[in-house]
Amino acid sequence: MRKLAEINNSAAALLFADYCQSKGLQVEAELTPQGPAILHCDQASYEQATELLREFINQPDHPRYQTAAWQRSQPVAQSGSQGAMHIPWAKLVHSPVTSIMLVFCLLVYVWQQVNFQSAVTTLQLTEPQQLWRWFTPALLHFSVTHLVFNLLWWLLLGAAVERRFGSVYLLNFMVVTAVMSNAAQYFLVGTNFGGLSGVVYALFGFCWLNQKRYPQPRPLISDALAVFMVVWLILGFADVLWVSMANWAHLAGLLSGLIMALLVKPLPAAANQ
């Protein structure tokens, strides 16, 4: 990608990038926590994008730019209004850790249906001297709802983190946050728990704080969604929900994700993926 220009107004940079993309041009806006937004484009789009930028500077309030932004947001807005998440299925081929963890969770759930006692006895954190058990409770799920909820968020957030930071980073993130959340639940409650929820909460905390520190054109976690997840966590501790939750695993996962977000920043070229 080639640098096209710098624009002091982040909203204007995103508006222009959306307009160019609606024209089939590979133009992206890189937002920075301080300083101007940077527009990038590929070599094939450079001349046409430069000409469109001149027009945009002369008439930034022209309705065509808002129209393009609205049209590009329509598929996501429609799916959101129906309560569905936009899962990047086509990109999973480039997210091996996300895909492998998905398959493992599904296979373990099938195992639980075939021989529940065997699966639980093998994977729960009942023998802490066996180090692998500090991770394996994350593979257990005790209902279809539990499994689907966790895997949908894992696909959305895990794949995004893997694309931005790499497979090795996501693998380390998953192991560390699973161990921390499982350890918290084990020491404070006991062995009767399972699920990927601790890692999911870690991904929520990580993605939300990371995008606050390093703004991105299309943030994954809105402030409203972040508030909802925290409220859900509080309701779990209050024991007023109709489901039993591993509350300490959720809290430890969230805190570990926030801490990890303070320790890293996205690769410069990956901020807009």
Q: Is 141 a catalytic residue?
A: no
- Choose, from 197, 222, 244, 256, the residue flagged as catalytic: 197
Q: 16 — phi, psi (to 5°)?
A: -65, -40
Cβ-count burial of 49 within 10 angstroms (0-12 exposed, 13-18 middle, 19+ buried)? Answer: buried
CA distance 199 to 154: 8
User: For residue 102, which amino acid is it?
Assistant: L
58 token code pair: 């002369």
- Choose, from 146, 181, 250, 256, the residue flagged as catalytic: 250
Cβ neighbour number for residue 259 with a 10 Å cutoff: 16
Q: Is 250 a catalytic residue?
A: yes
Contacts 24+ apart (CB under 8 A), 88-93: 88/155, 88/156, 88/159, 88/160, 91/159, 91/163, 92/155, 92/159
Catalytic site positions: 197, 250
